[in-house]
Amino acid sequence: MKIIVCIKQVPGITEVKIDPKTRTLIREGIPSILNPMDKNAVELALSFKDEHGAEVIALSMGPPQARDVLIEAMAMGADGGYLLTDKQFAGADTLATSYTLSCGIKKILDGASEYLVICGGQAIDGDTAQVGPELAEELGIPSITNVQKATLRDGKIITERALEDNEINVLETGLPALITVLRETNKPRFATLQGIQDAFEKKEVVSLALNDLQIDKSKIGLTGSRTQVWKVFVPEKKKESVILTGPVDEVVKKLGRILKEKGLI
């Protein structure tokens, strides 16, 4: 069985700061990383491989430097990596991205009908959580989102997911299928030294451009995007704050008064 893990290279934005003078992102020294939840997706695929045997393929769409995250996935244990890279793919919204990924998946499958696609729940730069389910729709396969736990049994995938705080639904579907996973799904393994060596020496990243795929050019990149970014801006700071200082008992008295005035006590 083939397990395809869709991964994305993102800026490590938890470290992003805004330049107070120019009000723009300070990007110097911000590393590009493998999207955190995509690591959980790779881990789940590898745990299925360990248990049942499978070929794990990492797939990404992006500029040539996105190759780095595919190598990282291979160092963790993925058997191979595919990078969809072409200037025509750029500027894609989630509809165009999911279409392009589906063309890559069809190429990788090469006619195989039993497969599983695993995606991270959402990427930390866009946060849309849309590409996974849209990709499943494009492929015409079932999708289960927000999966916290998953097992493979007899050609079926059994998942746990929560739509409510106090309730977990156990859902089962046959393969092929697509699931999206969360941070709490598992603890991603670290790449071993041997793993890193193998990623560079024994495995390879296959780059696929427009002409390598069977693809409808009207559905990719900017042309295939229904949504367009019209404007971007840095949000204004909203609140004017009062800072309380002094001995604890005085501060606490002031807080108590404020809470009482607000009708909160």
Partner 1 sequence: MVKMGIIIDKDACTGCENCVSACNFGGVVMVDEVAQITENCNLCGACVKECPVGCIKIEKEDVETVKIDKSQYRGVWVIGEHVKGVIRGITYQLLGKGRELADALDVSLIAVVLGNEFQEELEELGYNGADEIILVKSPVLQEYNSELYVNITTELIGKHKPEIVLIGATPIGRDFAPRVSKRLDAGLTADCTGLEIEEGSRNLLQTRPTFGGNIMAIIKTPDSRPQMATVRANTFKPMSKRAIDVKLTKVDYDIDQGVLATKKVKTIKKERSHVNIEEASVIVSGGRGVGCEENFKLIEELANALNGEVGGSRMACDLNWIDPSCQVGQTGKTVAPQLYMACGISGAIQHKVGMQNSDFVIAINKNPDAPIFDACNVGVVGNLEKIIPALIKEIKSLKSEG
Find the shortest distance in angstroms from Cβ 201 to partner 1.
26
Find the shortest distance in angstroms from Cβ 38 to partner 1.
14
Pick 153 or 202: Cβ nearer partner 1: 153
Pick from 146, 168, 148, 171: nearest CA to 158: 171
Find the shortest distance in angstroms from Cβ 56 to partner 1.
23
Find the shortest distance in angstroms from Cβ 260 to partner 1.
6
Residue 170, classified by CB atoms within 10 Å of its CB into exposed (0-12), middle (13-18) or buried (19+), is exposed
CB 100 within 8 A of CB 84: yes
Hey, which residues does 208 pair with through a beta bridge? Answer: 84
Pick 55 or 137: Cβ nearer partner 1: 137
Instruction: Return contacts of 9-15, CB within 8 angstroms, 24+ apart.
Output: 9/33, 9/34, 9/35, 9/60, 9/62, 9/65, 9/66, 9/68, 9/69, 10/34, 10/35, 10/123, 10/124, 10/125, 11/125, 13/124, 13/125, 14/124
Find the shortest distance in angstroms from Cβ 257 to partner 1.
9
